[in-house]
Structure 1
Amino acid sequence: MNDDTVAPLAPDIDHTPGIDWDAAAGAFDDEPDHGLRDPGTCAAWAARLRSWLPERPADVLDLGCGTGSLSLLAVEQGHRVTGVDSSPAMVERARAKLAGRDAVVLRGQADAPPVGGQRFDVVLVRHVLWTLPEPDRVLRHWRDLLRPGGRFVLVEGVWGTLHPVGIPAGRLTALLAPLSPDVRVERLSGDPVLWGKAVEDERYAVVATV
């Protein structure tokens, strides 16, 4: 790692700019919060997701879905999921993980998902928005993918000390203010079970209804 590369306090490969996602796909689920292999971590994410998603069965668009772990939790809670990821290797693993479920996984970019005229009840995005240029434009596009009364579920944070990367909760709520009359922030840093370790950086979820 050179001096120009951000070094997060608790390094996770989904916080590293410029990573080769196809090469990373094989080890992606080794991170506790990616593969959700630990029963406690899996249960913690399932509980959070249950509180963020609608109680009734909903159409969920999971952007930057990776290997599909959150998509799988959503399907297991009765939702219909469309996952999108730009990496063919990630898409392959997500499709295998979701095989036989009420889900489809597409290859495409998170900021321009290949869903045509389809509309959704939830746009679910974890640790992706901060990597995209013009997040205000991206959020407007994602809003147009939601049905009336739909919601954003955005899991984001800020990582690093000397050169922090990410998007602070205050900035994200400001970007959402013109799009949503109801924006709620849930702090996640204080729950080590979610991450498989204690974390000191800013991690949070925003749920915003449009």
Structure 2
Amino acid sequence: MTEPTSEPTSAPTLAPTLALTSAITGYWDAAAAAFDEEPDHGLRGQRTRAAWDRLLRAWAPPAPADVLDVGCGTGSLSVLLATAGHRVTGVDLAPRMIEQARAKLAVAELTGRFLVGDAAAPPTGGERFDLLLCRHLVWTLPDPQAALRAWVDRLRPAGRLVLIEGRWREPGQDGPAYVAGAESLPWSGGVRAGDLASAVRPLVAGLRVEPLGGDADLWGGPVDDERYALIAHV
């Protein structure tokens, strides 16, 4: 997803408000039409698509596995996982994102499902998954700690949690405006690897962090901010 503009805080997690949730939904619905123009969103470039495919195949369990892609956006990573033989469920708050994800899967003649719903509490009932994937989402969540607990609970024994995150912008830097009230989000601006690892570690059996900022192919060009993947197992 896109990058926020303010510094994360250590304040207690905040209860989501209807107004903020509605504003966030509207923001990403409006962003859906142009979302795939970003190289790492649409994966239209061969090198970028191949770079993400390589990583996902390395992180995922052997196929076929049940995969939950939370905050799936237009479904580009879901499509790669489905292509690799996995059974994929994608969840996103924005209906227009989900519309594009479904269309993308249909064009690729792949099977899977995409659900409109809160990625922090995916509408999948009591289902359990072998892999839960989340990319550039936690900074948008009013209560990321609760989301992390919910995600770990969705995993089967020996399941894997893959969080692709980063810390993109320091206060005062120019950037796209986000929704009113976003400055109150606990991890607005992204989350550093050490902070996310500290939050996840008590919930899992083990984890590792892989830096991703040095691989320009992943982003469609060089980046100078912090980007990484946290891979955990339960």
Q: TM-score, normalised by structure 2?
A: 0.81
Is the aligned partner of 1:110 residue 2:110?
Answer: no
State the match for 1:70 in structure 2: 77
Is the aligned partner of 1:15 residue 2:3?
Answer: yes
The aligned amino acid for 1:207 is I
The aligned amino acid for 1:187 is P
Deviation of the 1:131 alpha carbon: 1.7
Is the aligned partner of 1:193 residue 2:200?
Answer: no
Deviation of the 1:180 alpha carbon: 1.3
Is the aligned partner of 1:151 residue 2:160?
Answer: yes
> CA separation in 1, counterparts of 2:97 and 2:171?
31
Deviation of the 1:133 alpha carbon: 2.3
State the match for 1:172 in structure 2: 196
> CA separation in 1, counterparts of 2:143 and 2:117?
18
Superposed CA deviations along residues 22-46 of structure 1, whole A, max 9, x for unmatched, are 1111111010000000000000000
State the match for 2:17 in structure 1: none
Report the number of matched residues. 198
> CA separation in 2, counterparts of 1:151 and 1:160?
29
Deviation of the 1:102 alpha carbon: 2.3
- State the secondary structure of the residue aligned to 2:74: coil
> CA separation in 2, counterparts of 1:56 and 1:27?
32
Superposed CA deviations along residues 54-113 of structure 1, whole A, max 9, x for unmatched, are 123110000010110000000011111000011111010000011242210000011111
- State the secondary structure of the residue aligned to 2:2: helix
Deviating 4+ runs (over 3 angstroms): 16-19
2:166 touches 2:193 (CA, 8 Å); kept in 1?
yes
The aligned amino acid for 2:85 is G
**Alignment RMSD (CA, Å):** 1.5
The aligned amino acid for 1:50 is R
**Unmatched 5+ residue regions in structure 1?**
1-12
Superposed CA deviations along residues 128-163 of structure 1, whole A, max 9, x for unmatched, are 012212322211111111111101010000011235
State the match for 1:8 in structure 2: none
State the match for 2:31 in structure 1: 24
Superposed CA deviations along residues 179-200 of structure 1, whole A, max 9, x for unmatched, are 1121010000001110001101
State the match for 2:169 in structure 1: 160
What fraction of aligned residue pairs are identical, expressed as a percent? 56
| Range that drifts further, 157-166 or 93-102 | 157-166
> CA separation in 1, counterparts of 2:47 and 2:70?
24
**Unmatched 5+ residue regions in structure 2?**
6-23, 173-187
> CA separation in 2, counterparts of 1:54 and 1:101?
19
The aligned amino acid for 1:95 is R
Of structures 1 and 2, the one scoring higher in RCO (CA 8 A, sep 6+) is 2
- 2:63 pairs, out of 46, 56, 65, with 56
> CA separation in 2, counterparts of 1:101 and 1:172?
33
Is the aligned partner of 1:208 residue 2:209?
Answer: no
- State the secondary structure of the residue aligned to 1:121: strand
Q: How does 1:84-103 map to 2 (within 5 A)?
A: 84-99=91-106, 100-103=109-112
